[in-house]
Amino acid sequence: MRVLITGAKGQLGTDLLDAFGGRLPAAGSAVFAGDHLVSTHEVLGCDLEDFSLTDANATMEFVTSYRPDLIIHGAAYTAVDRAESEPDLAMAVNRDGTANVVAAARAVDAKVLAISTDYVFDGSGTRPYLPSDEPNPISVYGSTKLAGELACGEETTIVRTSWVAGFHGANIVKTILRLASDGTAMTFVDDQFGCPTLAADLAVALVRLAERPPGGILHATNFGPTTWFELARRVVTTAGFDPDLVTPIATADRLPAPPASRPMYSVLDGDALLAAGVGPLPKWEDSLDRLVRLLVA
């Protein structure tokens, strides 16, 4: 297949370029990847420095000149807190940009896998969210990503993921390692529950998913829920720093509160992905350990 990856310079996009190019992405599990990473795809990436997906004409021109069979739409406005003060830009990228990608894909009859987020849910759930559960975002970012989902046609496969960290780009794991190496004490909330996801594992899962018929919503995360506190403490411990650098705090006690509200519970149910023949993704602890070891090596 000819595969186009939007957001190719982002943390997921970089790993997607590797995975669709037949290479194991950094910190990825060779066991999970199995023999799925074969170099039978021709891959091209694009990002904001090439053109903005908010420009419908530029998007159409780029897609119709490359004529992909598959587009993995990973590009997004991802600054969750900043989105609260830039709602128009976030909406332009996450809703209109997605609509432009889908329209261009239709013009060349390409399949689309669009990446979305656990932040489409309000977090009031008490069991893992099913793809069919009613979204109810509580942040601008979540609202714009839901608007992006709604801009996808039925022929688009929507893959929701959560708490993504990878070897490339900026993420919380790198921030924790930097602070810990300075001996800086950190507090992390221990009452928000979700599933961490290693970008490399998600990229490999998407290679597998690309072989399936399109359509529907799927949830793809590493296996098992945790809290931000547990995640932070595992990063510090695995890297060999003092675990007591990280202490727990309740969301209500975070002062000042961050601009954007986060769901208190956004664990995603992965059974639909399993039914599609993909996964389970590795346990979050194993994937996080691999990432941390690579980052500190």
Ligand X SMILES: NC(=O)c1ccc[n+]([C@@H]2O[C@H](COP(=O)([O-])OP(=O)(O)OC[C@H]3O[C@@H](n4cnc5c(N)ncnc54)[C@H](OP(=O)(O)O)[C@@H]3O)[C@@H](O)[C@H]2O)c1
Name the residues annotated as catalytic: 141
Tell which one of 54, 139, 226, 238 touches ligand X (CB under 6 A).
Answer: 54
CB of 114 to ligand X, least distance (A): 8
For residue 12, state whether it binds ligand X (rule: CB under 6 A): yes
Tell which one of 3, 4, 11, 104 touches ligand X (CB under 6 A).
Answer: 11
- How far apart CA 59 and CA 84 sit, in angstroms, is 26
For residue 10, state whether it binds ligand X (rule: CB under 6 A): yes
For residue 117, state whether it binds ligand X (rule: CB under 6 A): yes
| Structural contact between residues 235 and 285, judged by C-beta atoms closer than 8 angstroms | no
| Structural contact between residues 1 and 38, judged by C-beta atoms closer than 8 angstroms | no
Q: Which residues contact 218 (CB under 8 A, 6 or more apart)?
A: 131, 157, 158, 159, 160, 209, 272, 273, 276
For residue 48, state whether it binds ligand X (rule: CB under 6 A): yes
Cis peptide before 131 (omega within 30 of 0): no
CB of 36 to ligand X, least distance (A): 20
For residue 196, state whether it binds ligand X (rule: CB under 6 A): no
For residue 231, state whether it binds ligand X (rule: CB under 6 A): no
Q: Which residues contact 180 (CB under 8 A, 6 or more apart)?
A: 186, 235, 236, 239, 241, 242, 245
CB of 98 to ligand X, least distance (A): 9
For residue 98, state whether it binds ligand X (rule: CB under 6 A): no
Residue recorded with tokens 């691999």: 290
Chain positions contacting ligand X, by CB under 6 A? 7, 9-13, 47-48, 52-54, 74-78, 93, 97, 115, 117, 145, 161-164, 169
